[in-house]
Structure 1
């Protein structure tokens, strides 16, 4: 992967290299790549977790004062960021919705949290973000569900429940309507990527992917 702003140039220069410009970082065998600066921190924490375990990675994140790492499968284009709007007027509301996706998030519920009447809230929110409140909630639920599907082995029933869809059937319809594929297709693609062996791409002349070098000690990995 690479930063989204460089993806077009990357494709032109290295047309035979397989590029997934949506992900914040990707592991392909022994080769790790990331997008942007903060994504590099996520990648570094993933390396720590891979070597030393989740607890050490969590303590490392606390030590450098960052949130626990985001999964590599997370998209660079986050609905939580995009829905902040032009002025960020509803940023606090978006954060609250993100933490409460499993609840019934009706327009009335959101308007009450924003201390507005439902009618005025719906108009103001749509004008600010470009989407209706219902569509915004669905986008956030889709992003949360897709990340869980691609980065965990949780059953779809559990993911549908925690993301607020209620049941797998409703989640499936939302995936097909917005993303064009069912949840099972995203899980299958993620599992396929995990099984791919790391290897340099044949068309990467002028670009060399450097495997991560690990130092070892007599008593184990470091």
Structure 2
């Protein structure tokens, strides 16, 4: 049985406990108790969450865990000496070590991220890099696996990390079944961006939202203003005016952003050629996609593709 230890401390971000449901459902999907979950803290006993309620924990015991995951925090707080010492000792016998959000700071303080790729919540990535220059921080990643060390972005990324661990332990089919039970996307790829174009655009009305949803589902189409206006049930002139007012962007710019996001995801989750990606995401040809990638990332698609395959 895989014994999972979730390391908590006063004020830890409560959403991290969602990982417990992932491992619990994996037990059901596998038809046998594969995982046991234990909340651990430096001194044991009751530990208060970021939401104000407390949870019962066991004291540190490095010899009894297959996987140890340090929970994150809403703020950056220096880890205690006891936690850092525990992680250093545990790293010698624990199969997997990982972190959610600012939990990466504890791993870095213990020296476990030196020379490794790692991520954290995007708003704390710069601070992590400044404090620990030996860490190769990648701020725009859902999670990263480097050797036996796993680091994840904040908040809901804990579920993506847990699903990735389940997939490695029990296979893709069990992970898919768990994801369906959780009512989430199967599993966002580790390299997928922490940001979403749809979220950043933030349309206020259902009509503009409907047009964007239509565009995302039909990227291979021309997606002219007339086509989008029809999806929004507005005249082309009215659609352009309302779209700009609600999103702060022109329809053409927003569609390019959706295509760039989809193209990058294709390169991160498969081994498609540049030409296939350009065709499937509506760019039509690789040169048009190259120009869009340069505007969005300052790099051509080939560079990003090589980075994900390396």
Fold match by TM threshold 0.5: yes
2:310 aligned with 1:189, yes or no? no
2:169 corresponds in structure 1 to: 51
2:248 corresponds in structure 1 to: 130
Unmatched segments (≥5 aa) in structure 2: 1-118
Instruction: Tell me the CA shift for residue 176 of structure 1.
Output: 2.4
Aligned residues: 191
After superposition, give the CA deviation of every residue in 1:98-125 in whole Å (9 maximum; x if it has no partner): 1111111111100110011111111111
For residue 78 of structure 1, the aligned residue among 192, 196, 212 is: 196
Matched-pair contact (CA < 8 Å) for 1:58–1:68: yes
Greater strand share, structure number: 2
After superposition, give the CA deviation of every residue in 1:20-67 in whole Å (9 maximum; x if it has no partner): 111111111221111122111111111222222222211110122222
Matched-pair contact (CA < 8 Å) for 2:266–2:272: yes
Instruction: Find the residue that maps to 2:214 and give its secondary structure.
Output: helix
2:297 aligned with 1:179, yes or no? yes
Equivalent residues in 2 for 1:81-120, closer than 5 Å: 81-85=199-203, 87=204, 89=206, 90-120=208-238
2:129 aligned with 1:11, yes or no? yes
CA shift in 2, pair 1:88/1:3, >3 Å = farther
Q: CA RMSD in A?
A: 1.6
Matched-pair contact (CA < 8 Å) for 2:179–2:187: yes
Q: Which runs of 4+ in 1 moved over 3 A?
A: none
Greater helix share, structure number: 1
Matched-pair contact (CA < 8 Å) for 2:210–2:231: no
After superposition, give the CA deviation of every residue in 1:49-91 in whole Å (9 maximum; x if it has no partner): 2222222211110122222111111111211211123x35523
1:167 corresponds in structure 2 to: 285
After superposition, give the CA deviation of every residue in 1:126-169 in whole Å (9 maximum; x if it has no partner): 11111100010000100110121133111222211211112222
2:139 aligned with 1:21, yes or no? yes
For residue 152 of structure 2, the aligned residue among 29, 34, 48 is: 34
Unmatched segments (≥5 aa) in structure 1: 193-222
In the superposition, the TM-score normalised over structure 2's length comes to: 0.58
